[in-house]
Amino acid sequence: MLTEPVILNPLGWVQSRLVGGPRRIAGIAAVYAAAILGFSVLIYRAAQPDITLTTLAQGAMTLIVIAQIGILFLVGTAAIRKAVHRDFTSDMITSHRLTAMSGYAAVIGYLTGATSQVIALTIVNWIAVNIFAFIVGIGPSQALAAPTLIFILLAVLALLCWMLAVLVALATRGKMGVNGLLIILGVAANLGAVTVLPGLDLILRSLPLGNLTNFAAAGLDSAAVAVALLAQVLLTLMLFMAAARKFVRDDVPAFTPAMAYVLLALCSLIGCVALRFWPESSRSGPIGGAMAAAFGLDFQWAMKLFFTLLALSLIACMAIAAAARRSGADDIRRIKDDGFANPPPRSYLEAPIVVTLIVFFTIVAVLSPVLDRLIADVPQKVINGRLLAIPVSFILAMFSAAGMMYFGFRASPGSAWVAVVLYLVLGWVMPPMADLAWEAMSDPIAVGGIVERTVLFSMSPVGTWLIVIRDVEAPLAAGLAVQTAVAIFCLWLAYRSAHRPRPAHAAA
């Protein structure tokens, strides 16, 4: 089944036929090209002599690129979700899985077949933009202003979004798409809110949100754009492998533990590189500009480090979930089948250790030259153990998540993420919120100086990270003791679920 070459792709042919076939796609492209030409001539003739041909071409280029962004990121992802949903509702997905087509070929088929109309409209837009660029006079010497480069940057980022759309659609049987997420990211990028997470801002750095016809005027860093392209390509490959795995069977997880570790390492590297070399974004936006005016650079850098660590901890939960699910499934299989003699997988308890090593090795390797910007007198803080509270709290949180996920998978596969979400809300979010609420109720009038946080704040992993990063006075030892107790309790739940008495029907 998995030996058929990727290039023999009947799914792409079928999907292109379902969206109209070559004739209909060519007709839509021709009508679209005629509409561009007709509106351009109409506007030019109606606005003379107040508008010149060069001004018209510049405005048309901007409008076409804006339309191209919508076509790629909204229409393209919606077409992919619709194609996957159609295959699931008609049960054609079962037929696809019974053929000799590999998962990789199927994913390529969805990408190329379902988006045939989008690809045709993109070609028309590219030709139109180059014609208008010739009228404006943009020459090949202006490399960053070349319209072709704009389309290449958009295409690489769009491919990442399309791959994410395929993976989400396969995981949800086509019921969920990524259009809402992409709209939120686009708005956040324009407002500057996405700059609090430098890794995500770097990934979106190639999206031309400034001057759409002249990247030099937009102030984009060519090195940052090159790194962003590399990050997008690597993430696309990771999602491609995950989507190919998910296509094979519904009950197969998209990420194996090894793949999840690689994804975490890649995200850690992207976040740390962005935090070291591009901590200040060139597109601050209203929110980013307000933060820059209200707070100093050190505060901004510290908060960006905190949000990067928070994002990496959530990605690490994917690796822990993959390991816990594999261990739980293997244990259930051994309970139900006495003859099951396959070697057991690696223990899920290794996952918290591995993810902690990945995250903090990357942070130390990449950010060690600039950590003194945040934490003064680093050797003394290492000696008194204050700085070490961050990795200790991180690994305790990962052990807690591992125990809750294993317990959830043993109870019911669908309840694992419910259990970990409850743990994140009750163990990470609520204690700091309760501490802040208690402070507001007990002392509503702001008092100058450093406020000492209580054990409610330090008993949360995110509270511990904020305490150390912002150098706030708080009972760290008591907070870490509570986090240790929570981790022991979660692991005890996992141990109890793994050593439950064997059911009578299984013994029979």
Say whether pLDDT at 378 is over 80: no
Could you tell me the pLDDT band of residue 30, with boundaries at 50, 70 and 90? Answer: very high
Tens of pLDDT, residue by residue over 55-84, are: 888 888 888 988 999 999 999 999 999 999
pLDDT confidence of residue 281: 59
Rounded mean pLDDT, 287-312: 71
Could you tell me the pLDDT band of residue 98, with boundaries at 50, 70 and 90? Answer: confident
pLDDT confidence of residue 384: 53
pLDDT confidence of residue 282: 52
Tens of pLDDT, residue by residue over 344-376, are: 677 888 999 999 999 999 998 998 877 765 555
Contacts of 105 (CB under 8 A, 6+ apart): 4, 5, 6, 7, 8, 9, 11
Say whether pLDDT at 231 is over 90: yes
Enter the tokens of residue 220: 């984009």
Q: Which of 295, 235, 232 is nearest to 263 (CA)?
A: 235
The 10 Å CB-count burial string (b at 16+, else e) for 389-402 is: bbebbbbbbbbbbb
Say whether pLDDT at 21 is over 60: yes
Higher per-residue confidence, 368 vs 125: 125
Rounded mean pLDDT, 255-284: 86
Enter the tokens of residue 472: 């706030």
Q: Compute the distance between CA of residue 159 and CA of residue 237 in angstroms, rounded to an integer.
A: 10
pLDDT confidence of residue 447: 44
pLDDT confidence of residue 121: 94
Say whether pLDDT at 430 is over 50: yes
Percent of all residues in the chain with a pLDDT value above 90, rounded to a whole number: 31
The domain segmentation of the chain, as residue ranges, is 10-249, 289-507
Could you tell me the pLDDT band of residue 338, with boundaries at 50, 70 and 90? Answer: low
Higher per-residue confidence, 479 vs 506: 479
Percent of all residues in the chain with a pLDDT value above 70, rounded to a whole number: 79
Say whether pLDDT at 467 is over 90: no
Say whether pLDDT at 196 is over 60: yes
Higher per-residue confidence, 207 vs 96: 96
pLDDT confidence of residue 507: 39
C-beta separation of 87 from 93 below 8 A: yes
Q: Compute the distance between CA of residue 12 and CA of residue 267 in angstroms, rounded to an integer.
A: 31
Tens of pLDDT, residue by residue over 264-278, are: 999 999 999 998 888
State the greatest distance between any 2 C-alpha atoms of the chain, in Å, as a whole number: 92
Residue 488's CB is within 10 A of a number of other CB atoms, namely 14
